[in-house]
Chains A and B, each alone.
Chain A
């Protein structure tokens, strides 16, 4: 496993419902990321199809692995990169069961997937109408470190990132499709999740406009100290890279020992009170 890795976060303007266009866009950015020396390239939530696919969701969803994963596996292999991207996944067992998924690919192919746990269904969001939530929070042991995946609204729930950290994640990736009115939340929460868990966090967001929703970009890589290692522009396509040095984790875990000081009994109480809200 590499001690230091170079991460690229790419915020792209996807075309809703046009996988080929979006895959071509990802290919272009993969080449750019490779040229910048990246080991890992992270694309936003539902970057394969665009975010607001609404009723097109049922026809755009694919199995994992499936044709689009295969195409992007080739990109990862050709550019010798790890790639994370978002897509609509349908269940193998029931075609109408759809997940909002993040896929992790390595240069040798598919490593794993994560299904979004927290589905926003309020304001302009209607994810529970279309998606089943995921029930697993996997951490993947890879050549680029132990990686946990989250998607967008998951970041509002500290227990998700915490659990990934407790399962050994050194790097938490959050891919999102966040509209401009939510910028403050994401800027605070992404930094907070990195700091409270003493973990590296790579955040990437869409740009562009879908159904009047303007995605604000602002992708970033955050150190456990809260230091912003790399920050992409607001509102326009951008790709930035930053180096993550996992050896820093030991120092920060000692200096800010939140993991050492965790109190399990509070979690029991949290469960009881959540059930009784």
Chain B
């Protein structure tokens, strides 16, 4: 198999149709009144908000923008409003700075300099707000995680990944960008550099030390059982770099599953219970 950009070329029309059908079907089977989602102004959340709106109609989609003062970026608010207006869904803006400060003060072991723990708290706080709205409005939470970030574990456990459905999770970041452009998400959003916005100036590619175009090809190769050596040779990369990505992928499995338990009984949750999602 040859690893080149073409392998990530998306059939956007089919992807759009299938994702919209998936969202409609799940909302209907859940007997929910619609979806709530965290909209951050980034490509993933803007794309899933737009797709949800195209699938369900704007009145059944509530985008919640949850900025906080430390990592605030004016473009995010502008882009969020732009997409909400274009695709006609409802938008709620809630500044979570004050509630975060309460948390910081309430945590006896809070450490300002530990930006990972602090950043994860922000992502989890957004999840708390989302699920409150979902409960109150009888809606499901629609996640925006993509395959690139999910595979390498570049997300907050029980935070930004927490959702009832994640319709983009089988598309790599570069494919989400293609789909975004296809459905009419403005190019300045579709092409803007990704960031989890957990601390000021945080940029995904800078933090990961790799461009998504390259990362996605590496992950595509790993998905198809290629060895790091084969991938590195084709992409003309040091094999240690590819091995590092592979290690990161395998080491973060705990973030993608429910909690592991000790097998003690006849049938065990998370191990050998296999119940269909769609049972009503």
Residues of A within 8 A of B (CB): 15-18, 50, 52-56, 126, 129, 180, 208-212, 214, 235
A56/B275 contact (C-beta < 8 A), A15-B280, A180-B18, A214-B18 known = yes
A54–B267 alpha-carbon span in the complex (Å): 14
For residue A234, which residue of chain B has the nearest CB? Answer: B17
- What are 9 A-to-B residue pairs whose CB atoms are below 8 Å? A16-B276, A50-B278, A54-B275, A55-B267, A56-B276, A56-B279, A126-B274, A129-B274, A211-B277
* Nearest CB of A to B35, in Å: 16
B21 at the interface (CB under 8 A from A): yes
**4 closest A-B pairs by CB:** A54-B274, A209-B25, A55-B274, A211-B277
* Nearest CB of A to B158, in Å: 21
* Nearest CB of B to A270, in Å: 28
Given contacts A17-B276, A180-B18, could you give 15 more A-B pairs where the C-beta distance is less than 8 Å? A15-B280, A17-B279, A18-B280, A54-B274, A55-B274, A56-B275, A56-B276, A209-B22, A209-B25, A209-B278, A210-B278, A211-B276, A211-B278, A212-B22, A214-B21
A139–B227 alpha-carbon span in the complex (Å): 47
B273 at the interface (CB under 8 A from A): yes
What residues of chain A lie closer than 8 Å to B17, measured between beta carbons? 235
For residue A214, which residue of chain B has the nearest CB? Answer: B18
A18–B29 alpha-carbon span in the complex (Å): 13
| A52 near B280: Cβ-Cβ < 8 Å | no
* Nearest CB of A to B252, in Å: 21
A209–B167 alpha-carbon span in the complex (Å): 13
A180–B22 alpha-carbon span in the complex (Å): 12
| A53 near B280: Cβ-Cβ < 8 Å | no
What residues of chain B lie closer than 8 Å to A52, measured between beta carbons? 276, 278
A208–B277 alpha-carbon span in the complex (Å): 14
What residues of chain B lie closer than 8 Å to A208, measured between beta carbons? 25
Residues of B within 8 A of A (CB): 17-18, 21-22, 25-26, 267, 273-280
* Nearest CB of B to A110, in Å: 28
* Nearest CB of B to A120, in Å: 16
What residues of chain A lie closer than 8 Å to B277, measured between beta carbons? 210-212
A180–B15 alpha-carbon span in the complex (Å): 11
A209–B276 alpha-carbon span in the complex (Å): 11
B22: contacting residue among A18, A55, A214, CB under 8 A: A214
A16–B280 alpha-carbon span in the complex (Å): 8
A275–B279 alpha-carbon span in the complex (Å): 41
Most B CB within 10 A of own CB, among A126, A209, A211: A209
For residue A53, which residue of chain B has the nearest CB? Answer: B276
A34–B17 alpha-carbon span in the complex (Å): 33
A250–B274 alpha-carbon span in the complex (Å): 50
What residues of chain A lie closer than 8 Å to B273, measured between beta carbons? 55
What residues of chain B lie closer than 8 Å to A16, measured between beta carbons? 276, 278-280
| B280 near A209: Cβ-Cβ < 8 Å | no
| B279 near A209: Cβ-Cβ < 8 Å | no
* Nearest CB of B to A109, in Å: 32
A54–B275 alpha-carbon span in the complex (Å): 6
* Nearest CB of B to A139, in Å: 34
A211–B26 alpha-carbon span in the complex (Å): 9
A209–B279 alpha-carbon span in the complex (Å): 12
What residues of chain A lie closer than 8 Å to B280, measured between beta carbons? 15-18
What residues of chain B lie closer than 8 Å to A212, measured between beta carbons? 22, 277
A129–B21 alpha-carbon span in the complex (Å): 29
| B274 near A209: Cβ-Cβ < 8 Å | no
Most A CB within 10 A of own CB, among B267, B276, B277: B276
| A55 near B275: Cβ-Cβ < 8 Å | yes
| B275 near A209: Cβ-Cβ < 8 Å | no
What residues of chain A lie closer than 8 Å to B25, measured between beta carbons? 208-209
* Nearest CB of B to A199, in Å: 32
* Nearest CB of B to A181, in Å: 10
A129–B273 alpha-carbon span in the complex (Å): 12
For residue A17, which residue of chain B has the nearest CB? Answer: B279
* Nearest CB of A to B131, in Å: 21
* Nearest CB of A to B156, in Å: 23
What residues of chain A lie closer than 8 Å to B26, measured between beta carbons? 209
For residue B18, which residue of chain A has the nearest CB? Answer: A214
For residue B272, which residue of chain A has the nearest CB? Answer: A55
